């Protein structure tokens, strides 16, 4: 038996998690405050480098407003590696126009604008995250290249229609809900330029063989950690993508790295 959850309930569930104090997240995330699975490079010796040898770990931040005093540790380098891969998959170059939906605390937007020279619009529904975004964007000196909006992805303005070279979502689609996934990708296609544009996303999935059982139950994580959240399977994702007349260019499995995050 499948349980359908309305968009309003999903939004309220999302906010119950992400509208916690920004300082709560600053205490355990990497310094750049990226909240999803990292990709560890060879220098970090993959996902188990910290088990093989003693490696520096950044002390917890007391506030997201703290000033950096230490270089990036393994976790932050892993997050930055992931963000670079996303930017490269999106083929960002100087002058690219980018839309990021569910931007968290702005780490990808700051990289896209500061390193790749893109102009970025970011969307969040979290007022707490918006407060932090304004601080971090200004501190990075990128207020002229990054514009933050508090809005739902279903309520994007007409000026966003076919306006973007790339649409990005990192660890967001778990909150969309499988019944709304085709509509999600159609909304992305609506915002993307008709030619030579890219939608790049990361999302946790369950194996296709487990999908019938997973989709019919509410497990511990969906009940207590991410109320209203739902994973997808690769097949259901591809079906939703093609229903929006988008083409799948590549899929990369970064799941084995999750254990080190």
Candidate from 210-214, 225-229, 255-259 with smallest mean pLDDT? 255-259
Residue 228 has pLDDT above 60, yes or no: yes
Angstrom distances, CA of residue 68 to CA of 21, 75, 192, 207 = 20, 15, 36, 40
Percent of the chain surpassing pLDDT 70: 85
Provide the pLDDT confidence category of residue 28 given band limits of 50, 70 and 90. confident
C-alpha span between 28 and 60 (Å, rounded): 6
pLDDT per position as a tens digit, 42-59: 665 555 666 666 777 777
C-alpha span between 138 and 142 (Å, rounded): 6
The pTM of the full predicted model, rounded to 2 decimals, is 0.85
Mean model confidence pLDDT for the chain: 85
What is the crossing angle of helices 107-114 and 127-139, to 10°?
30
Q: With b meaning 16 or more CB within 10 Å and e meaning fewer, what string describes 187-221?
A: bbbebbeeeebbbbbbbbbbeeeebeebbeeeeee
A 10 A CB-CB count for 28 gives 11
> Can you give the chain as a three-state secondary structure string?
CCCCCCHHHHHHHHHHHHCCCHHHHHCCCCCCCCCCCCCCCCCCCHHHHHHHCCCCCCCCCCCCCCCCCCCCCHHHHHHHHHHHHHHHHCCCCCCCEEEEECCCCCHHHHHHHHCCCCEEEEEECCHHHHHHHHHHHHHCCCCCCEEEEECCHHHCCHHHCCCECEEEEECCHHHCCHHHHHHHHHHHHHHECCCCCEEEEECCECCHHHHHHHHCCCCHHHHHHCCCCCCECHHHHHHHHHHCCCCCCCCCCCHHHHHHC
| CATH code, 7-51+72-244+253-260 | 3.40.50.150
Average pLDDT over residues 134-145: 95
Beta-sheet strand order (sheet of 97-101):
146-150, 119-124, 97-101, 166-170, 198-202
pLDDT of residue 111: 98
pLDDT of residue 71: 83
pLDDT of residue 19: 60
Provide the pLDDT confidence category of residue 3 given band limits of 50, 70 and 90. very low
pLDDT of residue 6: 45
Spell out the domain ranges in the chain. 7-51+72-244+253-260
pLDDT of residue 1: 30
pLDDT per position as a tens digit, 148-205: 999 999 999 999 999 999 999 998 888 888 888 999 999 999 999 999 899 988 888 8
A 10 A CB-CB count for 89 gives 17
Provide the pLDDT confidence category of residue 5 given band limits of 50, 70 and 90. very low
pLDDT of residue 218: 84
The number of CA neighbours under 13 Å toward the Cβ of 32 is 24
Provide the pLDDT confidence category of residue 65 given band limits of 50, 70 and 90. confident
pLDDT of residue 10: 46
Average pLDDT over residues 212-225: 83
Residue 2 has pLDDT above 60, yes or no: no
Percent of the chain surpassing pLDDT 90: 48
């Amino acid at each position: 038996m499948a349980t359908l959850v309305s968009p309003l309930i999903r939004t309220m569930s999302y906010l119950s998690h992400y509208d916690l104090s920004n300082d709560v997240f600053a205490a355990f995330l990497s310094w750049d405050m990226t909240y999803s699975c990292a990709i560890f490079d060879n220098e970090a010796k993959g996902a188990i480098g910290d088990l093989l040898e003693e490696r520096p770990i950044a002390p917890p931040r007391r506030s997201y407003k703290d000033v950096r005093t230490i270089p990036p540790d393994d976790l932050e380098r892993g997050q930055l590696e992931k963000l670079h891969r996303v930017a490269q998959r999106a083929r960002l170059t100087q002058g690219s126009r980018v839309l990021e939906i569910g931007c968290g605390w702005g780490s990808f937007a700051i990289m896209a604008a500061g390193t790749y020279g893109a102009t970025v619009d970011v969307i969040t529904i979290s007022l707490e995250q918006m407060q932090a975004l304004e601080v971090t964007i200004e501190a990075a000196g990128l207020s002229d290249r990054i514009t933050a909006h508090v809005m739902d992805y279903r309520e994007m303005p007409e000026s966003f229609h076919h306006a973007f070279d790339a649409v990005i979502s990192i660890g967001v689609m778990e909150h969309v809900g499988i019944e709304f996934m085709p509509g999600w990708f159609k909304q992305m296609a609506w915002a993307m330029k008709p030619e030579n544009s890219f939608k790049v996303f990361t999302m946790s999935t369950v194996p296709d063989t487990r999908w019938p059982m997973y989709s019919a139950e509410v497990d511990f994580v969906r009940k207590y950690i991410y109320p209203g959240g739902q994973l997808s399977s690769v097949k259901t994702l591809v079906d939703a993508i093609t229903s929006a007349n988008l083409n799948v260019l590549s899929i990369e499995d970064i799941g084995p790295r999750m254990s080190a995050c």
